[in-house]
Amino acid sequence: MNFEKKIPVFLETIEAFTFDPFINPYFDFLESLIINGYVVTIHRNGHGLDNPMQTIDEINHMRNFIKHYKKAIGM
């Protein structure tokens, strides 16, 4: 993993966006970061950036994480 290319993403941000690429390209943007070698770290607001809940460096992991998280919170 390349730790210089980490992008923190907060769960609160994921909750704010509709998981529909026709409405909002946010999740496509996250996937493009992973394709370009970035690592996405998932955080909950207030828990600090040094304690990620998930470290994602693979597109299917990102898709599954978002799908399951949205389902878990009823979206």
> Per-residue pLDDT tens for 42-70?
998 877 778 899 999 999 999 999 889 88
pLDDT of residue 1: 57
SS (H, E, C) 5-73: HEEEEEHHHHHHCCCCCCCCCHHHHHHHHHHCCCEEEEECCCCCCCCCCEEECCHHHHHHHHHHHHHHC
Q: Look at the pTM and tell me if it is higher than 0.85.
A: no
Confidence class of residue 36 from pLDDT cuts 50, 70 and 90? very high
The mean of the pLDDT values for the chain is 86
- Predicted local confidence at residue 62, as pLDDT: 92
Is the confidence at residue 24, as pLDDT, over 70?
Answer: yes
Residue 2 has pLDDT above 70, yes or no: no
